[in-house]
Structure 1
Amino acid sequence: MDFIEINALRLRCVIGCRDEERRGRSDVVIDLRIGADARAAGVSDDLADTWNYRTATKAIIDHVEGSAHRTVEAMATAVARLLVIDHDARWVRVRVHKPGALRFADTVGIEIERTVADFLKSATDTMRGSAL
């Protein structure tokens, strides 16, 4: 598998659990590693054969800047879902860091890995739970 990397995407959003965190926007830094098949583009040198990271990144920016997640875990999961479900990534690693969230630390964050199966499973579990 080939990987596309997008590092240090710096965005501002509402994130946090405490009232003072939710009154304004905070900085978040997102790193992405996206599993894709780059063989066709490597041979053809044609943009049409690439995984469109520009469109995917714009969708991430729109989502994150309009979001109001309470946790970095929820934000990372939402970004992963967007990439694998809406943009057909085979696999993603998403790192979300919140600078200044913890005294004496530069950042606090999480790193997750997801595939489409992770989201299909959760949708199936949700449907099963509502049928019981």
Structure 2
Amino acid sequence: MPFSNAIIKITNLRLRTFIGFNPEEREKKQDVVINAEIHYPVNRGCLTDQVDAALDYKGITKQIIAHVEDGQFLLLEKLVSDVLNICAEPDVVTHAQVRIDKPHALRFADSVSLTLHYDKC
């Protein structure tokens, strides 16, 4: 069987952080919803149930949680870029994409979101 990329999806990770530059946004944490997709090549170790051969998505998620909840961000672009860098950090990652929604950022919209992606050259 030929091997291909595994695709891990972290779906609707709901966190709270300081996001925005208006005075009221700097005073209390706001909700953000994170969706990440991480691609890495499957290897024989993964297919034979060797834990060390797989990508540690739980560890990546813990890093994202700590960074977001402990951080303060003026721009959604900065927050998304930081989370993307965490997702793309392991050497085996070939592609990563992160979308972060900021619910209720606009009066008549459910949310505002921004997506960035990384491709290993």
Give TM-score scaled by structure 2 length: 0.88
In the aligned structure 2, how far is the partner of 1:93 from the partner of 1:54? Answer: 17
Corresponding residue number in structure 2 for 1:17 = 21
Corresponding residue number in structure 2 for 1:50 = 54
In the aligned structure 1, how far is the partner of 2:14 from the partner of 2:118? Answer: 21
Q: CA deviation at 1:42?
A: 4.5
Which of structure 1's runs of 4+ aligned residues deviate more than 6 A? none
Contact 1:38–1:51, Cα closer than 8 Å, also in 2:
no
Contact 2:20–2:26, Cα closer than 8 Å, also in 1:
yes
Q: Which has the higher helix share?
A: 1
Q: CA deviation at 1:90?
A: 2.3
Q: RCO greater where, 1 or 2, for CA within 8 Å and sep 6 or more?
A: 2
In the aligned structure 2, how far is the partner of 1:31 from the partner of 1:56? Answer: 13
- Structure 1 unaligned blocks of 5 or more: 118-132
Matches within 5 A, 1:1-132: 1-85=5-89, 87-88=90-91, 89-115=93-119
Q: CA deviation at 1:28?
A: 0.2
Q: CA deviation at 1:116?
A: 5.3
Contact 2:38–2:88, Cα closer than 8 Å, also in 1:
no
Q: CA deviation at 1:3?
A: 1.0
Q: Which has the higher strand share?
A: 2
Q: CA deviation at 1:92?
A: 0.7
- Structure 2 unaligned blocks of 5 or more: none
Corresponding residue number in structure 2 for 1:127 = none
Q: What is the percent sequence identity of the aligned residues?
A: 34
Corresponding residue number in structure 2 for 1:123 = none
Count of matched residue positions in the alignment of Structure 1 and Structure 2: 116
